[in-house]
């Protein structure tokens, strides 16, 4: 048994984590994002175009496939987080789910390479989401298990950077591999290899079997409801995350159409690429620095508040200054704001978790605030653009949503 003794499975961590552990965690996190976003950015769209039946558009096929996959992930993440909370393996609570989920996800990616119809495409992607959600839920819960509060901003910053780089790497692998099947296999291989260092070299605190509560199905299911009255800080933090992510999703959803229809760019796709590069560069430049700065001064709420204000200002620029220079300014400002938000809000969420015994389940519920905006944004944006004032109103709505989320963080009492 290493320094992380069995009793520490349910304790607040106090021993600082080293660079090796952090590097292994960050690499594993980025590898899982490769497994998700290589298909999402490139491969599923190519297959949808090939496999769409006569009379059905490729956009409809892609929407059904990705929508069903998102629904699976929405349910699976808290369920697997709760299951990892109860795992009393000698390898720890989290590592078995990473060790099982990643190979299963890689196998599902390999199956997707052979999909010959819409049904097999849909089922394959749902399996990928199911398996990788198991690994991701456990990996995320490892942070409050192992990282002291004073280090969580820095670790959250590195995880944010890994997410961005994972999306870029997944897109690059899917593009450069030389075909759909090769793209899936490349993403699958990277996902497995990237998680191996964490699984093989890093042990989790062990939950003694006698500390695991008896299983009761009703109690297990009702535990997913976290009472806002009993845990107001967690409720306000969840609402903050949901609204800021919703504002960001609304802002990015119709960017291509905004450049084409409002700014009349001759090549809107190239414009999106330029804006994405500006956004990503400034996001990467701030996400790690913000986490370290938050740890240094011991405060979270001011960072989240001003990040939301910056994001609101960026989307307001898109509404009020409808020019190409305005779009560049907005993309950069949005990248800075969301980079700060990604790093520090993650640390804030881990700081308000109610109890060590169900960190995985609670973080899974929190992650719904990341996924649900991707479903809600199209439902809100489409009628606004078509019937309620077009892009100026859409981006003012995004600004108001992000600003509301930022202001709600002030209601949290247990974190500075």
Residue 168 has pLDDT above 90, yes or no: no
pLDDT of residue 45: 80
User: What is the CA 338 to chain-centroid distance, rounded?
Assistant: 12
pLDDT of residue 328: 92
Q: Which of these ranges, 165-174, 182-191, 368-377, has the smallest mean pLDDT?
A: 368-377
For residue 94, give the nearest of 129, 130, 154, 146 by alpha carbon.
146
Contact by Cβ (8 Å): 261, 271: no
What would the mean pLDDT of 131-142 be, rounded to a whole number? 91
What would the mean pLDDT of 314-339 be, rounded to a whole number? 90
For residue 4, give the nearest of 412, 316, 16 by alpha carbon.
16
Give counts: helices (H), strands (E), the chain.
15, 0
pLDDT of residue 176: 83
Calpha distance 371→83 (Å, rounded): 20
Phi (first) and psi of residue 170, to 5 degrees = -65, -45
pLDDT of residue 41: 73
Q: State the residue for tokens 């999306």.
A: 167
DSSP symbols for 158-218? HHHHHHHHHHHHHHHHHHHSSSHHHHHHHHHHHHHHHHHHHHHH-PPPP--GGGSPPP-HH
Which residues, listed in sequence order, are joined to residue 92 by a DSSP beta bridge? 89
How many Cβ atoms are within 10 Å of 201's Cβ, its own excluded? 10
Same fold, 6-222 and 232-411: yes
All residues at 6 or more sequence positions from 38 whose CB lies less than 8 Å from its CB, including other chains: 170, 171, 173, 174, 183, 184, 186, 187
User: 139 versus 214: which is more confidently predicted?
Assistant: 139
CATH of domain 6-222: 1.20.1250.20
pLDDT of residue 9: 65
> pLDDT tens digits for 343-379?
888 788 777 777 666 667 777 777 777 777 767 777 7
Residue 1 has pLDDT above 50, yes or no: no
Q: Tell me the average pLDDT of the chain.
A: 83
Q: State the residue for tokens 């990503």.
A: 280
Using 50, 70 and 90 to split pLDDT, how confident is the model at 217? Answer: low
Residue 4 has pLDDT above 60, yes or no: no
Residue 101 has pLDDT above 80, yes or no: yes
What would the mean pLDDT of 387-393 be, rounded to a whole number? 82
User: 361 versus 224: which is more confidently predicted?
Assistant: 361
CATH superfamily of 232-411: MFS general substrate transporter like domains (1.20.1250.20)
pLDDT of residue 3: 44
Residue 400 has pLDDT above 50, yes or no: yes
pLDDT of residue 74: 84
Distance linking the first and last C-alpha atoms of the chain: 36
Domain boundaries of the chain, sorted by first residue: 6-222, 232-411
pLDDT of residue 226: 67
Residue 5 has pLDDT above 50, yes or no: no
Q: Which of these ranges, 6-10, 168-172, 249-253, has the smallest mean pLDDT?
A: 6-10
In terms of average pLDDT, the best of 29-33, 139-143, 145-149, 291-295 is 29-33
> pLDDT tens digits for 26-85?
999 999 999 988 887 788 888 888 888 888 777 678 878 887 888 888 888 888 888 888
Mapped onto helix, strand or coil, the DSSP state of residue 147 is coil
Using 50, 70 and 90 to split pLDDT, how confident is the model at 221? Answer: low
pLDDT of residue 8: 66
226 conformational bin, left if phi > 0, alpha if psi -120 to 50, beta if neither: beta
């Amino acid at each position: 048994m290493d320094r992380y003794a069995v009793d520490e499975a349910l304790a607040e961590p106090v021993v600082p984590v080293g660079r090796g552990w952090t590097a292994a965690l960050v690499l594993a996190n980025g590898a899982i994002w490769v497994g998700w976003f290589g298909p999402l950015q490139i491969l599923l769209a190519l297959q949808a175009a090939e496999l769409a039946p006569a009379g059905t558009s490729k956009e409809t096929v892609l929407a059904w496939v990705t929508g069903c996959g998102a629904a699976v992930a929405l349910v699976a993440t808290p369920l697997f987080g709760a299951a990892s909370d109860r795992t009393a393996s000698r390898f720890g609570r989290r590592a078995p789910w990473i060790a099982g989920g990643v190979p299963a996800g890689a196998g599902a990616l390999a199956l997707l390479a052979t999909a010959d119809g819409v049904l097999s495409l849909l089922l394959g992607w749902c399996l990928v989401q199911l398996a990788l959600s198991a690994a991701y839920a456990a990996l995320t819960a490892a942070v409050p298990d192992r990282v002291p509060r004073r280090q969580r901003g820095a670790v959250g910053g590195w995880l944010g950077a890994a997410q961005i780089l994972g999306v870029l790497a997944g897109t690059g692998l899917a593009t450069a591999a030389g075909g759909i099947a090769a793209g899936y296999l490349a993403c699958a291989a990277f996902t497995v290899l990237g998680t191996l260092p964490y699984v093989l070299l890093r042990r989790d605190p062990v939950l003694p079997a006698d500390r695991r509560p008896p299983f009761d199905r009703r109690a297990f299911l009702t535990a997913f409801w976290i009472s806002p009255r009993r845990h107001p800080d967690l409720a306000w933090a969840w609402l903050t995350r949901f609204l800021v992510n919703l504002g960001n999703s609304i802002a990015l959803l119709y960017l291509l159409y905004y450049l084409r229809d409002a700014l009349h760019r001759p090549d809107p796709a190239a414009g999106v690429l330029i804006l994405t590069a500006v956004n990503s560069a400034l996001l990467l430049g701030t996400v790690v620095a913000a986490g370290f700065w938050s740890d240094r001064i011991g405060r979270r709420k001011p960072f989240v508040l001003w990040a939301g204000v910056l994001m609101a200002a960026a989307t307001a620029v898109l509404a009020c200054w409808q020019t190409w220079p305005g779009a560049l300014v907005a993309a950069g400002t949005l990248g800075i704001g969301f980079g700060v938000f990604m790093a520090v809000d993650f640390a804030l969420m881990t700081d308000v978790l109610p109890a060590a015994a169900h960190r995985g389940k609670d973080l899974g519920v929190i992650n719904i605030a990341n996924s649900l905006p991707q479903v809600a944004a199209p439902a809100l944006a489409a009628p606004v653009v078509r019937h309620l004032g077009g892009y100026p109103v859409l981006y003012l709505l995004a600004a108001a949503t992000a600003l509301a989320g930022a202001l709600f963080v002030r209601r949290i009492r247990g974190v500075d």
